[in-house]
Each structure stands twice: as C-alpha cells, then as structure tokens.
Amino acid sequence: MLLLTLAYARGQSGDASAVRNLVDSERFTFEAQGVTSSMGDYRNLTTGDYKVQLNSDSVSCFLPYYGHAMMAINNQVPDQLDVHSHKASYKTRVTRKGGWSMSVKPRDDNSVQQFAFEINPDGTATLTVTCPLLDPISFNGYIH
C-alpha cells in the first residue's frame, strides 16, 4: 500500500525544477496522504481532504489530530488542526540529498508553533506539526 501511495504522490508534482519553483515561491499546497502519531500509529487519509496551503506570508491548514494533550481544553483533546495565519515566517534550506527543509511559524495563531516540511525533489514530502500543548504529529504526502 505504501508503494502505491508514493507512486501516486510522485506523479502529482512533476520534475525537480517544478518542485524547486514551488518551494522558492513559498506558494504551494501540501496534500496529506497518511498520518503518524507520536506513538507510531499510522493511518491512511482520504486524499484531498487534508491539506496545508502556503501563500507567501500566510498559512492555513486543515489536518486531523491523533495524539495526547499535555493539557486538554475543556477536558477534550482536539481531533483536528484548523489553523489560519496571515502572518507567518518561513525559513528554507537545501538538504544534502537535493531536497528542502522548510520551517513555517505562524505569528498570529498560537495553536501551532511550527510546520516543519521535508520536501524531496520529486515533490513527496513529510510534514511534522508542533503544537504548544499537544504531542507532535507527522504527515506524509506531496506538494503541488
């Protein structure tokens, strides 16, 4: 199943130069295809339902959350990450394997500390979301 997911993801993003242009522009959509909780539990996701959209200095996301909270809000752990920030800072660096590491930090929404992307030249990507009161959670998918 994982091989099929990766093959599908590679077909979505195109060649390395197209992916580089997306990363350099800081304008792309990350489509989540799977999620791994901090406890190591993996779940497939319905493609197209869960995404993060970057647009220069803004970020919005709608992603599921499976994990533990250090402090539950109203005695409940959230089941989704729904973030809309119009002021976000970006830091990008090239990795040794020719991909990119990108850190996105919302400055006007404190529900998420950081979105950390590891993007491969073929457009497949891993996203780790760090929140102040929740366990970190990771997603695999692709950018377009």
Q: Tell me the pLDDT band of 78, cut-offs 50, 70 and 90.
A: low
**What are the boundaries of each domain within the chain?**
2-143
**Do 83 and 64 meet the contact criterion of CB atoms below 8 Å apart?**
no
| Closest by CA position to 33, among listed 21, 47, 19, 43 | 47
Q: What value does the mean pLDDT take over residues 79-90?
A: 90
Percent of the chain with pLDDT over 70: 83
Residue 79: left (phi > 0), alpha (psi -120 to 50), or beta? Answer: alpha
Helix 2-13, helix 16-25: angle, nearest 10:
70
pLDDT digit string, tens, across residues 112-137: 999 999 999 999 999 999 998 888 99
Between these two residues, 142 and 72, which has the higher pLDDT value?
Answer: 142
- 2-143 sits in which CATH class? mainly beta
The pLDDT of residue 3 is 33
pTM equals 0.84
